[in-house]
């Protein structure tokens, strides 16, 4: 099944926002890559704000599904944690950081409608990771201090921050891995 024009616009826009940020991409940029005139984009997404809002909604779905796949994979809990971290590593080689990390940086120039969607992303991510961490506590694999929620927030912060660090380094992926995985295995490991 072929992708709709709206979806192709969203795909290209996501790439650009994750790479350059909200203020540094334009309808003209999208139009070149999608192969339609910029006026035509307004038919699908009347304003830039609505386009970006839709971007976040879809990103949440994609990430949610990816997390569900990890949870259902029956891998060990510490392996699930690694796979979760991999989600944040994988875009780096193409110069992409988490959409919501970028939009959190751009927060001050975004409308309230987008703010709300970003908040839901972080809330959902914390909830999913919190559940995973709680399981590990229950199973006696690791402990979370002072609480599972705090630990989840700290982990997410580390992942998002590691993306920023990685981005300004010469080898993004390697830098990310060197920062994230040692700390992950030191703190959350089976043995």
Q: Interface residues with a copy of itself (CB under 8 A)? A: 19-24, 95, 97, 100-109, 115, 118-119, 122, 145-146, 150-151, 153-154, 156-162, 164-165, 167-169, 178-180, 182-183, 186
Shortest reach from residue 157's CB to DNA, in Å: 30
Question: Cα dist. 27→58, 67, 107, 173 in Å?
Answer: 19, 31, 20, 30
CA angle, 142 then 90 then 117, to 5°: 80
User: Which residue, 57 or 157, has its beta carbon nearer to DNA?
Assistant: 57
Closest among 141, 69, 55, 44 to 99, alpha carbons compared: 55
Q: Does 126 bind DNA (CB under 7 A)?
A: no
Q: CB of residue 45 vs DNA: minimum separation in angstroms?
A: 8
Q: Is 84 in the site for DNA (CB under 7 A)?
A: no
The verdict on 154 binding DNA (CB under 7 A) reads no
State the alpha helices, DSSP H only, in the chain. Answer: 5-20, 27-34, 38-44, 48-72, 77-89, 99-105, 112-138, 148-167, 172-187
Residues 31, 22, 93, 81: is their CA dihedral positive or negative? Answer: negative
**Residues 20 to 39: which contact DNA by CB under 7 A?**
25-29, 35-39
Among DNA, a copy of itself, none, the one that 26 touches (CB under a kind-dependent 5 to 8 A) is DNA
36 vs 164 by CB, closer to a copy of itself: 164
Any contact of residue 5 with DNA (CB under 7 A)? Answer: yes
């Amino acid at each position: 099944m072929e992708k709709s024009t709206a979806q192709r616009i969203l795909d290209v826009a996501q790439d650009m926002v994750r790479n350059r940020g909200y203020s540094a991409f334009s309808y003209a940029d999208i139009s070149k890559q999608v192969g339609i005139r910029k006026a035509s984009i307004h038919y699908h997404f009347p304003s830039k704000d609505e386009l970006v809002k839709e971007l976040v909604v879809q990103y949440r779905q994609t990430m949610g599904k990816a997390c569900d796949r990890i949870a259902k994979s029956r891998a060990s809990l510490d392996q699930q944690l690694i796979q979760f971290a991999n989600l944040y590593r994988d875009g780096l080689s193409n110069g992409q950081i988490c959409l919501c990390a970028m939009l959190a940086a751009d927060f001050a120039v975004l409308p309230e409608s987008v703010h709300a969607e970003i908040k839901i992303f972080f809330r959902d991510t914390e909830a999913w990771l919190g559940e995973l961490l709680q399981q590990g506590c229950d199973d006696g694999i690791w402990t979370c201090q002072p609480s599972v929620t705090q630990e989840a927030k700290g982990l997410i912060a580390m992942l998002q921050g590691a993306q920023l660090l990685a981005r300004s380094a010469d080898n993004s992926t390697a830098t990310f891995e060197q920062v994230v995985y040692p700390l992950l295995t030191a703190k959350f490991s089976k043995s």
